[in-house]
Structure 1
Amino acid sequence: MESPAQPPTPDAPATDADAADRLLLDEAAAVIAATPAGRLVVIDDVAGALTLGAAERGAQQIRVHQDLITGERALAAAAEARGLTDRYTSLPLGPELFAGATTVLLRLPRSVDRLAEVAGLIAAFADPSVTVIAAGRIKHMSVSMNDVLRTVFDRVDVSHARQKSRVLTATGARPEAARAVLGAWPRTADHPDIGLRVAAYGGVFAGTKVDIGTRFLLQNLARLPKTATAVDLGCGTGLIAAALATANPDLRVLAVDRSAAAVDSATWTAAANQLSDRVEVVRADGLETVADGTAELVLLNPPFHNDAAVSTAIARHLFAEAARALAPGGELWCVWNSHLQYRPSLEKMIGSTRQVARNSKFTVTSSRRR
């Protein structure tokens, strides 16, 4: 059975095009060939298959946005290997990315909120004649995706299925409706029980909610060691970073995530809680911006999915990053689903690990760097 393309990590190298990528490129072949240079945009390409596939079909001056920095790097490496580095430019998600675009190739996100935000940007800022060709694996698609597209486009056509994948084609952009949709981003929510406002862009884990693992970790913040600095690793909306900075007015916090949407969300969360002067938000793979042996305290609520697949690879990569970056005696505080049994890995990779708290679902541990 074919394995779906996964976001690349150090433990899972970039994969080739999967069935949804190939179907999208086949369905879009004639449109790609007819699109003038500089008018094609590719969104959320997992590891570069769509961008390079379009380039090999003659597309020039492609504008690309990938949410994950690891995806950007996978595309850059593949483009260099194929001699196609001059065929595309990576840009942030925003008006410049879509200005004047007549064709958009989109790998459908699993999050309907992410699709709503991206579709709104396309309809608001692309050429009114824009055609959006979006593909996904059927098991991750829903009828609500068609409804989201119809909110800002007049017509949505659905392709026949092939290899458990399908394509949606949207035309007839409605800019006024799109601008109304965009006014909802980022979404915000107040949480009086923790004294914070959370901001979230589409597709960020938990959105404006406080997920139960993070909530359990927050209940144990008073037991943290006193430090001058701390790192919120895999920060998502920046909720942990904001809670740390709020609890300790002298603390400076670095919030790190590989997702551009997460970084934007965490930046807004810090600003919404008047913490921008003490919370720095960085888009990076793990702790690559932190020098070896310098971090005093790292907090982590690691993901256990790599896109749709259950995987511990990302968590173990982040444990290794913490092990490298922590100063001797520095601590990694981690909350994890107890069934994942991370404690032996934490002991091996970082050092002495103790259980701080445990409930019916989660465990909080503290690992001290040797």
Structure 2
Amino acid sequence: MAHYFSEQPETASRPASVDLVLPDLHLRLETDRGVFSPERIDVGTRVLLESVPPPPQEGDLLDLGCGYGPIALTMAKRAPGATVWAIDVNRRGLELTERNASKAGLGNVRAVHVDEVPEGVTFRAIWSNPAIRIGKQALHEMLTRWLTRLAPDGVAHLVVQKHLGSDSLQRWLGEQGWQASREASRAAYRILKVTR
């Protein structure tokens, strides 16, 4: 079965679009089958974008699991002087993010496969609606890989549904030596803030 976390989705393409409307921006985004939440902006993503403080205005920022780009494009719009790395394993999602960034005139977005981020790059902010459904072990490996690339003053914000394990994830992060706190809670979603 094909999932949105497959590198090459086997699901037949059916292009569509959604509107991302936030108090400070309005973007029309191209979507397609085979990527996460193609019919609408996911509730968790919306909660994240409406709850987190503005990103740093310069440096490297990361959208971990970008899909078709709503988080990356919001970061890029809110921090035009920063470089936003939009990463995913899903090639269809990366192509959509690239097109959506181009259409929105956001030249500060780099949509790249997870294995194509240069090694020395560290991130001042990580925003993510992580792919919980990849399974606990794969999720932990993914978070470990990218949280270790937080800059010393960097902050990650993760949105996780309460009944998909937000509280146990917060505990696990603490056990790994991260400072993890619940920053917001809305519509059965938690925003976890993670720092060194």
Compute the TM-score of the two structures, normalised by the length of structure 1. 0.47
**CA root-mean-square deviation:** 2.6
- Identity %, equivalent residues: 23
The alpha-carbon distance between structure 1 residues 258 and 350, as it changes in their structure 2 partners (threshold 3 A), is: farther
Shift of 1:313: 2.9
Report the Cα distance in structure 2 between the residues aligned to 1:252 and 1:293, rounded to whole angstroms: 11
Asked whether the 8 Å contact 2:84–2:109 carries over to 1, the reply is yes
Report the Cα distance in structure 2 between the residues aligned to 1:293 and 1:324, rounded to whole angstroms: 11
2:59 corresponds to which of 206, 228, 231: 228
Q: Which residue of 2 aligns with 1:281?
A: 111
Report the Cα distance in structure 2 between the residues aligned to 1:189 and 1:303, rounded to whole angstroms: 20
Structure 1's consecutive aligned runs of 4 or more residues displaced over 4 angstroms after TM superposition are 223-227
Q: Which residue of 2 aligns with 1:313?
A: 137
SS at match of 2:119: coil
Q: Which residue of 2 aligns with 1:152?
A: none
Pairs within 5 Å for 1:286-305? 289-291=117-119, 294-305=122-133
Q: Which residue of 2 aligns with 1:120?
A: none
Compute the TM-score of the two structures, normalised by the length of structure 2. 0.84
1:241 corresponds to which of 58, 72, 80: 72
Report the Cα distance in structure 2 between the residues aligned to 1:226 and 1:249, rounded to whole angstroms: 7
AA paired with 2:141? H
1:352 corresponds to which of 150, 174, 179: 179
The alpha-carbon distance between structure 1 residues 221 and 196, as it changes in their structure 2 partners (threshold 3 A), is: farther
The alpha-carbon distance between structure 1 residues 248 and 295, as it changes in their structure 2 partners (threshold 3 A), is: closer
Shift of 1:352: 1.0
Asked whether the 8 Å contact 1:292–1:324 carries over to 2, the reply is no
| Larger Rg belongs to | 1
Q: Which residue of 2 aligns with 1:77?
A: none
Report the Cα distance in structure 2 between the residues aligned to 1:235 and 1:303, rounded to whole angstroms: 10
Unaligned runs of 5+ in 1: 10-45, 47-65, 69-108, 118-183
Q: Which residue of 2 aligns with 1:363?
A: 190
Report the Cα distance in structure 2 between the residues aligned to 1:255 and 1:351, rounded to whole angstroms: 23
Report the Cα distance in structure 2 between the residues aligned to 1:266 and 1:249, rounded to whole angstroms: 16
Report the Cα distance in structure 1 between the residues aligned to 2:192 and 2:71, rounded to whole angstroms: 16
Shift of 1:227: 4.3
The alpha-carbon distance between structure 1 residues 368 and 355, as it changes in their structure 2 partners (threshold 3 A), is: same
Q: Which residue of 1 aligns with 2:20?
A: 191
Unaligned runs of 5+ in 2: none
Return the structure number with greater strand share: 2
The alpha-carbon distance between structure 1 residues 213 and 274, as it changes in their structure 2 partners (threshold 3 A), is: same
Report the Cα distance in structure 2 between the residues aligned to 1:343 and 1:225, rounded to whole angstroms: 24
